[in-house]
Amino acid sequence: MVASNTIDRGRTLLREQPVLALAGVAGAVLVLDLLARLAGVEVPLVGDRTFGGSLGMGRFGGLLWNGIIVGLIFGLAGIGLSMTYSILNFANFSHGDLVTTGAFTGWGAALLVAGWGVADVGHLLLVRPGSGANPNEIGASIAQAPLSILIGAAVAAVATVVVAVAIDRAVYKPMRDRGGIALLIASIGVALALRYVIQFVYGSRNRGVTSTQDVNATVLGITIDLHEATLVLVAAGLMLGMHLMLQRTKLGKAMRAMADNKDLALVTGIPTERVVTATWVLGGALAGVAGYLYVLERGTIEFNLGWFLLLFIFAAVILGGIGSIYGAIAGGFVIGFVHEVSLIWVPSDFNAAAAFTIMILVLLYRPQGLFGGVTTA
């Protein structure tokens, strides 16, 4: 009974959405292959290709953990992108550069606090633009200077909000009545200008930031990287906070209403400009913190870091369904896992392409996102 139902549904899907059905089958094969690899089963196919193989639990666990880490970054940054996309009605191509803004401003503050007296203020505030004290001398790590790391996160949020709101006032506000494409093009202009202002001020060098001393701790026999642990805690905390804000507060409800239907919100008298500002404040803060945490985890910083993340963030948002913050979070994890776990099958110069391919397929065949059709924030 159940089986025949499933078959029926499969048939319908095959007829109505052949590509999606194909993708489902491919996904199932990959999962089986993964299980076979984990179990160490290997079935020879054509040539030197095999089904299954061997994959240590340790490596798999490592990939999954990496997937969670990058997934949280994509998701955290994606929340803001998703909100601006649905509430302001345009794809914001400068979102990645807001992420970069947060990374630089936040780390400038963190280094300043952690390295006070070790190096001159310019060197610290500009996040080591040239030669000078090295990261370990400055000592910005969660183990050595936890306070500086937290202050940095707060500064990242505040500074990014200031930048985001200022840009909104100068660029997007005069264009509120224009179509999504005009705004999109404007956002490309913003992206260029912002990225190169950052380069102008902070320089173009890719450099180390965090101190690596004492960041590995052993808890219950497992070695964990304290910076990664911090990232997971902070990101999860912010996501939870976002959830509470949207469900419990009046502002959150207004934002959900506007994400669903801007005209309706206009009619029912929700002060839209206030909601728009709130969108930039929340989205900007999360983007800034996401950039800051990303640097905390990878240890280095450069001026186009956010721009390189942009397509992944878009992928997360699209996968989750534009306008849904839960979707953005879930989409972040999916893209994060695809990015990392796909390494089992594809060489490392193709895992980004795999993530983009999935994004394109979703846009083509399931533009409402993977998780249902409702776009309620």
In the complex, minimum distance from the CB of residue 303 to other proteins, in angstroms, rounded to a whole number = 9
Ramachandran category for residue 361: left, alpha or beta (phi over 0 → left; psi -120 to 50 → alpha): alpha
Q: Does 182 bind other proteins (CB under 8 A)?
A: yes
Q: Which stretch binds other proteins (CB under 8 A): 50-58, 109-117, 287-295, 358-366?
A: 358-366
Among 69, 158, 191, 215, binds other proteins (CB under 8 A): 191
Spatial separation of the C-alpha atoms in residues 115 and 348, rounded to whole Å:
36
- Residue closer to other proteins by CB (options 43, 170) is 170
Spatial separation of the C-alpha atoms in residues 328 and 105, rounded to whole Å:
25
Spatial separation of the C-alpha atoms in residues 144 and 121, rounded to whole Å:
19
Q: Does 129 bind other proteins (CB under 8 A)?
A: yes
Spatial neighbors of 259 by CB under 8 A, at least 6 apart, are: 83, 86, 87, 323, 375, 376, 377
Neighbours of 16 (CB within 10 A): 9
Among 212, 277, 357, 376, binds other proteins (CB under 8 A): 357
b/e per residue, 211-225, with b = 16+ CB within 10 A? beeebeeeeeeeeeb
Among 44, 130, 237, 271, binds other proteins (CB under 8 A): 130
Q: Does 258 bind other proteins (CB under 8 A)?
A: no
Neighbours of 179 (CB within 10 A): 10
Spatial separation of the C-alpha atoms in residues 203 and 301, rounded to whole Å:
11
Among 98, 126, 287, 341, binds other proteins (CB under 8 A): 126
Q: What angle do CA 103, 107, 113 make, to 5 degrees?
A: 160
Interacting positions 82-121 with other proteins (CB under 8 A): 90-91, 120-121
Nearest Cα to Cα of residue 259 among 245, 276, 244 = 276
Interacting positions 5-64 with other proteins (CB under 8 A): 19
In the complex, minimum distance from the CB of residue 367 to other proteins, in angstroms, rounded to a whole number = 6
Among 311, 343, 344, 370, binds other proteins (CB under 8 A): 311
In the complex, minimum distance from the CB of residue 199 to other proteins, in angstroms, rounded to a whole number = 5
Q: Which stretch binds other proteins (CB under 8 A): 155-163, 194-202, 242-250, 252-260?
A: 194-202
Among 193, 229, 232, 343, binds other proteins (CB under 8 A): 193
Strands (E), the chain: 42-44, 50-52, 207-208, 216-219, 222-225, 300-301
Residues 148-177, mask of contacts with other proteins (x by CB under 8 A): -----------------------x--xx--
Residues that bind other proteins (CB under 8 A): 19, 90-91, 120-123, 125-126, 129-131, 171, 174-175, 180-182, 184-186, 188-197, 199-204, 311, 314-315, 318, 347, 349-350, 352-353, 356-357, 359-360, 363-365, 367
